[in-house]
Structure 1
């Protein structure tokens, strides 16, 4: 009898031990980062033209962040900030390639030199997860170094320094690195999802970090022909009416649906945090984000505000939403807290842990900052909606605190102040009529720039020609 009781106790102890181990297993992390997807390019964000039933369903299963931001207005710096948890002055990646973009005769200042890649010394999000037992795979656009395998990943398909798939590159044979060609005509978004699904199936027994940075919906705009034809018959709305772009959005949605079905089928959903977002605002020439102003490359809302949802059944309340301003730099400290990773003195994360929002707890109001001591020329002067028709971005800094947003442009030391609650389109500049608020925000911005050693260009450009610039702007305005 004692032997039998001992055996029963052994089984109970074994069961409890096993149960305890299962309970303590860290959640899988799935981070889907779509390229150039606009804030309003999804059904759950208000679009009536684009069709995203799978993402709409996913949004209903988790939390939607309506005031979510990328840490930069274009691809490489946004990704560098997200993977490092640090803002642009800390790593020096401000743009893609050269910081002196546009006609030299229209640039008043010598811009700050740009660092092309994230420094090797940065301890990335992937490295942190790797060091805590995660198997890490990335499938798609990397863009911040030559090879993600050197920065914390175990598996890489399609990721290198390349920022787009190249002309005609959305169908096999491909023009990107670290990928084998599929059957002729295979669609890249489908292929990357196939690879991601194989990664999940191979690593379902261990915590994994799946980073899925689709090349879609970056140019060249290439949708599947059958989807393009389907949307060609659908009436659009103002600024959202391109069938080829709608087809690309639909393909992303279909593949997210495929991925979620695999997680559900393998019973992994309850222990998986899914994050879906975009690396920056959409290109306004392709898709309007009304009421937001401008698009990719601009630091008006249309260039930096992005869609964001998170799903984690049992932890994040289904159907929840928040208007708390957040940034993609918050992903790193949030995940770090969730898995119980230790603090490292030499790692200064500049985002914050968002987990209290999952439990409907308040977060203390903070200021968000952007710094871009560079130039980015216009895509389409008639459509961009930027500060002037020549540039999406001129050197400056931007901050948001509460409902207030301050722009500071260095060339003429000019400020713009907007009340985003009343004026999300940033039309009415209140810098002169609200001097107390303006000056308070200016002080916060100056203090932050000192803290992070943000470079402020002040050297005059000897090639600048004011008359040439003025005449060029006039010619563009008159054309419109």
Structure 2
């Protein structure tokens, strides 16, 4: 951690030369917490009675909870690309993790759109624009969008690369070789938090942007050993009963508590804007989000609806719940508004600033939210009945939410599903046949959006497909 002092001193010298004193005093710090694979009900403030998250729950009690918050995609890389770019998937073309033709070829009717595994260099990301305006920027944990976060706007990188999971949470960390454990059994998320606290202790008066994204609670599921007995003896709640996963959830919560405690100790909490969320739904074979249907990789609610909290002492009211549908694409314009930075003229942002909702009790005009996934994503839970079929979590298609209504269109056979989420949050009653007018309305909206964004729709047939 000692090397941070030299790095920060150098950055401070540059910022003193380039940044007006007024900006240094007035600009708030920004903490963006993005947990990996944490489901909508995997936290206490969203109702879980199995997982224990007292520090996250305290954040929720001191801020605004969004009960209908969405990720821009149902698995890691595309969701994170949406968050960091503020754009729908067709603009950055990251649709999945790795290749787009996952699953057995004989089961795939269409040839899917090729996937882009790296976010384009010319796509201006949140840390890049904040750094341009005098922020010291730090990435901690999982990045997954390029090989090196320091080439995309971060002054400090703690364990981030293109890798999507650590391989192991115990040393050696395998795919996170940049971090050196202090002992042979030191848990990875503890070390990432240690290094993060070192960064925060090095920053003095300059505003900072911290993107805290620990690899947990992504697989591999490896328990924090001294917590395991407690959960093995705990009663199941609402389908949640995985003791090993529960220790990982509690451990992530504890590290967040350490960060917030340091803010309080430093007197920086009042001038820190905090966003908390997850990148996609929980792994359905490990945790359940009932009554939401399915989980990670699916475009039913369990795969894309996330826990979300926004906190800012003295500016965001405490203990308030918002039912406004929002998306992680809204984070980019919200952070710009918080930092007092104007949107670059040549930057397309598909989300909207939530600052008026957070600080002025205003609402935002009803708008459609879109998802596009021209890819295949194989099932990982045997005989899973919560997805469209047991072979795939996702088949090529698009989805749209507008008001209370949600439509999913699959490209293979033009299958349509229509749900009223207000009456049927579990997406059990497909109303496509009984409400053709609503189907036509939403399909027209979806097709217009695909045209505007250049969203590819795969049509080429797979010669290896076997219809049975």
**Residue 273 (structure 2) aligns with:** 273
Question: Is 1:174 matched up with 2:181?
Answer: no
User: Is 1:254–2:236 an aligned residue pair?
Assistant: no
CA distance in 1: counterparts of 2:339 and 2:191, whole angstroms:
30
Query: 1:97-120 CA distances to partner (integer Å, 9 max, x unpaired)?
Result: 110011100100000000011011
Q: 1:88 to 1:233 in 2, by over 3 A?
A: same
Aligned to 1:97: 98
Residue number in structure 1 paired with 2:242: 242
Q: 2:464: which partner in 1? A: 463
Q: 1:384–1:282: structure 2 CA closer, same or farther, 3 Å change rule?
A: farther
TM-score computed with the length of structure 2 as normaliser: 0.94
Name the counterpart of 1:186.
186
CA offset at residue 204 of structure 1? Answer: 3.3
User: What SS does the aligned partner of 2:306 have?
Assistant: coil
Deviations, residues 197-222 of structure 1 (Å, cap 9, x unaligned): 11111113110001111100000101
Q: Which moved more, 1:102-111 or 1:193-202?
A: 193-202
Please list the CA deviations of residues 433-467 of structure 1 after superposition, one character each: whole Å capped at 9, or x if unmatched.
Answer: 11111111111000000000000000011000012
Q: Quote the residue 2:43 is aligned against.
A: 42
The change in CA–CA distance for 1:93 and 1:22 in structure 2 (over 3 A counts) is: closer
Residues 24, 207 of structure 2: 8 Å contact kept = no
Q: TM-score, normalised by structure 1?
A: 0.91
Distance 2:23 2:402 in 1: 41
- Correspondence 1:147-158 to 2 at 5 A: 147-158=148-159
Q: Distance in 2 between matches of 1:123 and 1:101?
A: 30
Matched-pair contact (CA < 8 Å) for 1:239–1:286: no
Contact 1:141 1:164 in 2 (8 A): yes
Name stretches of at least 5 consecutive residues in structure 2 with no aligned partner: 1-20
Shift in Å, 1:267: 0.7
Residue 69 of structure 1 pairs with residue 32 of structure 2: no
The 4+ residue runs of structure 1 with deviation greater than 3 A are 20-24
Q: Please show how residues 100-249 of structure 1 align to structure 2 within 5 Å.
A: 100-166=101-167, 169-175=168-174, 176-249=176-249
Q: What does 1:280-359 align with in structure 2 at a 5 Å threshold?
A: 280-358=280-358, 359=360
The 5 Å alignment of 1:411-422 reads 411-422=412-423
Q: Distance in 2 between matches of 1:241 and 1:233?
A: 10
Aligned residues: 446
Q: Render the CA deviation track for 1:3-57: whole Å, top value 9, x for unaligned.
A: xxxxxxxxxxxxxxxxx94895211011111110000001110111111111111
Structure 2 distance, partners of 1:381, 1:427, is 20
Cα deviation 1:319-369 (Å, max 9, x = unaligned) = 111010111111100111222212322210111100011121111110000
Partner Cα separation in structure 2 for residue 384 and residue 182 of structure 1: 44
Query: Residue 31 of structure 1 aligns to a residue in which SS?
Result: strand
Counterpart of 2:375 in structure 1 is 374
Residues 348-403 of structure 1: CA deviation (Å, up to 9, x unaligned): 01111000111211111100000000000001133461110000000000010111
**Structure 1 partner of 2:30:** 29
Which of 71-80 and 332-341 deviates more?
A: 332-341
Contact 1:33 1:279 in 2 (8 A): yes
After the TM superposition, which residues 417-432 of structure 1 pair with which residues of structure 2 at under 5 Å, given as runs? 417-432=418-433
- Secondary structure (helix, strand or coil) at the match of 1:457 reads coil
| RMSD across aligned positions (CA) | 1.2
What is the distance in 2 between the residues matched to 1:81 and 1:137?
Answer: 19
CA distance in 1, matches of 2:88, 2:346: 15
Please list the CA deviations of residues 124-155 of structure 1 after superposition, one character each: whole Å capped at 9, or x if unmatched: 00001001100000110000100000000000
Unaligned 5+ residue runs, structure 1? 1-19, 468-480
2 CA distance for matches of 1:99 and 1:36? 20
CA distance in 1, matches of 2:445, 2:324: 19
Q: 1:281 offset after TM fit, Å?
A: 0.3
For 1:332 and 1:173, locate their aligned partners in 2 and report how far apart those are by CA, in whole Å: 35
Paired with 2:291 and 2:139, the residues of 1 have a C-alpha distance of 34
Q: Which residue of 2 aligns with 1:84?
A: 85
Moved more, 73-82 or 182-191: 182-191
Asked if 1 retains the 8 angstrom alpha-carbon contact of 2:158 and 2:196, the reply is no
Deviation at 1:183, TM superposition (A): 1.6
8 Å CA contact retained: 1:68, 1:306: yes
Q: Say whether the 8 Å CA contact 1:173–1:182 is kept in structure 2.
A: no
Offset at 1:172?
A: 2.5
